[in-house]
Structure 1
Amino acid sequence: MRNRIFKQESVTNYMKADARLKRTLGAWDLVALGIGAVIGTGIFILPGHEAAQHAGPAVAIAFLLAALLSGVVGMAYAEFSSAMPIAGSAYSFGTVVYGEIVGWIISWALILEYFLAVSAEATGFAAYFNNNLLAPLGVKLPTALQAGPLEGGMVNVTAVLIILVIALIIAKGADLSKKVENTAVVVKVAIIIIFIGIGVFYIKSGNYVPFYPKQFRGAPFGLGGISTAAATVFFAFIGFDALAANSAETINPKRNVVRGILETVLIAVVLYVAFSLVLVGMVHYTQLNVDDPAAYALHVVHLDGWNKLITIGALFGIFTAMVTMFFGGSRLVYALGRDGLLSKKMGQVDEKTKVPRNAVVIALVVQAFFAGVVPLEQLASLINAGTLLAFACISFGIIPLRRRKDIPNDGFKMPWYPVLPILAGLCSIYFIIMLPNATKLAVGLWIVIGLIVYFTYGLWHSKLQQRDRVE
């Protein structure tokens, strides 16, 4: 049994299976997808929550720490994508270097990440759309249609509808998705820069004092608040994982995936840190525990006219983030169906559009359900555990990857081997430990459910295992 569950897949078999997918994504398309995912709910909502609850003005440091680790782990993803440009991202990589059982655990964690990320983005979109666009026009949805049962309503109908719109775009193929993404990213980044440029003139230096409030200075070493905030805002940096998931649909992946990942992280850290510093300088951190902190900050300084512009930027930003994460999540489900670990119908590709339609439908149903009934904060905390688990596995995975003589790589390689991969993996584990206990418990239960699914279905239907029996 041990030999079976740790059996490793070959890159050649994955490459043959993914030949049905169409390579249409260039370097700029990947940067746009990455920025589309990273600059979304993370920048328009999380800085306010984390400043108020965990770090105060030092939330900018939390974003910087998260970005630094994400950048290092991004190098690991880039090396894997260069060595094996296949669909499935960390799941496929893990199955090749660790074995099927580890690949499955990574994939199960990533399903949680991708699907709940889209659901969380959708609830953020709904908050901005309902409160800052519809409400000023005198349009107010009934309470029952603005929130799920956990918040006193029935269903968040706006969140469900925006996921449906994105599913329709994804179902039309990568060409339409990238055209929508590229246009929206330019608009979004321009509006963020405008907010930073205007807000800097309304900063009050007193709002930065104390920069790291005493009540947040828990263990370890007084960095508890910043560490918890950094662990939470990893939700903002999961976009490059989705880029790796698109390797099989990328032109010249050895060059373009690397550029897409590293340029995404660099642009994101500059925007996040600058945005956070301006936000907490405009409004005292204790007032920022709201779902639309940028719009609220402009209201506080009596710039309500600019409020609408920020709302538009937030809507564009969250929309593009959802497109990227929906894209990545549906490709992960496709990869699991391709390999027999889920129903083979999930691995089918539409002959006309070259899109895994069934995987898109499953993603739509699950994401719409969670967006409709679960609040944003609960969704965001669960996402981070799956992200960090994948980060740890991919970082440590560079070591067995380098030892594989059957996987030549003449493209990008992670520098300072093996120190940097080990350091990135250990840091990822540290931030998992710093997540709230309720989050760790919930994700632990999710992994147990995943193992039950694997041993009752995946192991017996896996194409890898079936080939082994035939041989």
Structure 2
Amino acid sequence: MRFNLFRKESLDRYLKANRHFVKTMNAWDLMAMGIGAVIGTGIFILPGTVAAQDAGPGVTISFLFAAIVCGLAAMCYTEFSSALPVAGSAYSYGNIVFGEFLGWILGWALVLEYMLAVASVSTGWAAYFNSFIASLGIKLPSALAGPFNPHAGSYINIVAVVIVLLITWMLSRGVRSSTRINDTAVVIKLAIILAFILVGLFFIKPANYHPFLPYHLSGTFRGATVVFFAFLGFDAVSGSAAEVKEPRKNMPVGIIGTLLVATVLYMGISIILTGMIKYTKLDVANPVAFALQMVHQTWLAGLLSLGALIGMFTMMVTTIYSSSRLLYSIGRDGLLPGFLSQVDPKKHIPQKALWIVGIIVAILGGLVSLDQLTSLVNIGTLLAFTLVSFGIIPLRHRKDIGNKGGFQVPFYPVLPIVSGVACLAMMVMLSKETWIGAGIWFLIGIVLYFSYGYRHSKISHAE
């Protein structure tokens, strides 16, 4: 057998393997998934803290700049998901256009990104939930309210474990019922955000907008690099393409629609917040709740806690779902054990992959302190964005892949190249510790690929 790191997968084989999935999702379901993943607790925190530290009222422009950079990557994802409507998102795209090794690196990066992201959010959800029940006079024993740290008297974050396993069980019941619950939660979350915007309109003081750029344009750009990460999550939508009705029509609406809605909401919150309270006073833990308390609207501040809980819940739903489809895809290709690719004949979902994701995330959220690890989420995402952006060029050269009537990135090849370069620039700005942690993770992945994946790959069996 000839050694070849860049052997490419067949779109036809992927489409055949994905025939076990039932196409149940429409454009609204995709947007609800995307908004659920992108709009979390950050919308109640980032506009205030970035305004205070970096951009002043110009934080609104910071969100616009960040959305433009994310929008370039989103268009590239949209073209891929339209041309290649298969499970696995960037991992599968990489296998088809770059070859198996780069596809594996992408998949390995996304495994880290998704699981760490959900685990860290589960601990945040637990903190909000514990605070909520404490207001009702209920307090969990400290042994059950933190990561494994016997010296501090904590052994497991039981709420984080329970919420992850509950979401996993919900997803195991089937895509249709899960999307109904997720759609409802997203509507409630959006209603709470819009309530803040509408109420806040009555408390705006135009003087608070002056000066609009106290930290000059450089501060606005610096703020954009911070809030860029608030838009991450729309890429998870592309992993559902195998379960979407009319993917060429619905995937563009789902991905680009998610980004447009998120941009409008982030900018809306920013405009209202910096109009209600002088930006210099917003460097607090929860600036939106603080602003409402300052104008004596404490009833809405209480609703924000509910919005935060729902926001984190929907993010976990989308990301656990996407993680299970990613593991399914890697198992489908033989790079990880094949049982991961088994699809339940009744529910039409990869139950084993789903439950393995749920159990691993529950263990991480329940037992591990994730403070030092969550920055690795950013490098995994940006690597995927970079390769998907540059991948548009070899995709367009593939005569065996048709995309007639599907979305295509405009101003080709300029925009895909600009998108890839912008994502590389973001990667360069990440800390040295993040790069070291990522290097260790990728080294483990490379060892696993050469010791197991290469020999068991379905491509090697076909050669």
The alignment's TM-score, normalised by the length of structure 1, stands at 0.90
Q: Structure 2 stretches of 5 or more lacking a match?
A: none
CA RMSD, Structure 1 to Structure 2 (Å): 2.5
Whole-Å separation in 2 of the counterparts to 1:264 and 1:179: 17
Q: Deviations over 1:15-49 (max 9, x none)?
A: 01111111111111111111111112332344455
Corresponding position of 1:194: 195
Alignment correspondent of 2:446: 451
CA distance in 2, matches of 1:392, 1:63: 20
Residue 72 of structure 2 corresponds to which residue in structure 1?
72
Question: For residue 177 of structure 1, what is the amino acid of its counterpart?
Answer: S
| Structure 1 residues 141 and 204, CA gap change in structure 2 (3 angstroms) | farther
The 5 A counterparts of 1:1-40 are 4-40=4-40
Which residue, out of 443, 458, 463, partners 1:463? 458
Structure 1 letter corresponding to 2:25:
L
- TM-score, normalization by structure 2: 0.91
Q: Distance between the aligned counterparts of 1:462 and 1:15, measured in 2?
A: 17
In the superposition, relative to structure 1, how do residues 166 and 292 fare at CA in structure 2: closer, same or farther (>3 Å)? farther
- Contact 1:37–1:324 under 8 Å retained in 2: yes
> Offset of 1:302 from its aligned partner?
3.0
Whole-angstrom CA distance in 1 between matches of 2:447 and 2:262: 38
Q: Does 1:434 align with 2:429?
A: yes
Partner of 1:266: 260
How many percent of aligned residue pairs carry the same amino acid?
Answer: 50
In the superposition, relative to structure 1, how do residues 72 and 121 fare at CA in structure 2: closer, same or farther (>3 Å)?
same
Equivalent residues in 2 for 1:177-326, closer than 5 Å: 177-203=178-204, 223=218, 229-283=223-277, 292-326=286-320
Unaligned runs of 5+ in 1: none
For residue 391 of structure 1, the aligned residue among 368, 372, 385 is 385
Q: What is the alpha-carbon distance in structure 1 between the residues aligned to residue 225 and residue 365 of structure 2?
A: 22
**Following TM superposition, by how much is the alpha carbon of 1:234 offset from its aligned partner in structure 2, in angstroms?**
3.9
Between the two proteins, the alignment pairs up a number of residues equal to 460
- Map 1:331-342 → 2, pairs under 5 A: 331-342=325-336
Residue 240 of structure 1 and its aligned partner are, at CA, apart by 2.2
Q: What's the counterpart of residue 142 of structure 1? A: 141
Does the C-alpha gap of structure 1 residues 84 and 278 become closer, same or farther in structure 2, counting only changes over 3 Å?
A: same
Q: 1:221-280 CA deviation, whole Å, 9 max, x = no partner?
A: x84x65565445444323321111000000110110111111111111000111133334
Residue equivalent to 2:360: 366
- Counterpart for residue 164 of structure 1: 165
With over 3 angstroms needed to count, the CA separation of the structure-2 counterparts of 1:172 and 1:63, relative to structure 1, is same
Q: Which amino acid aligns with 2:234?
A: F
Name the structure 1 match of 2:349: 355
Q: Give the 5 Å matches for 1:126-141.
A: 126-131=126-131, 133-141=132-140
Aligned in 2, Cα 1:370/1:293: closer, same or farther, shift over 3 Å?
farther
Per-residue CA deviations over 1:417-440 (Å, capped at 9, x if unaligned) read: 000000000000011111222222
What secondary structure is seen at the aligned counterpart in 2 of 1:16?
helix
User: 391, 409, 419: which is aligned to 1:424?
Assistant: 419
Question: Aligned partners of 1:397, 1:373: CA distance in 2, in Å?
Answer: 38
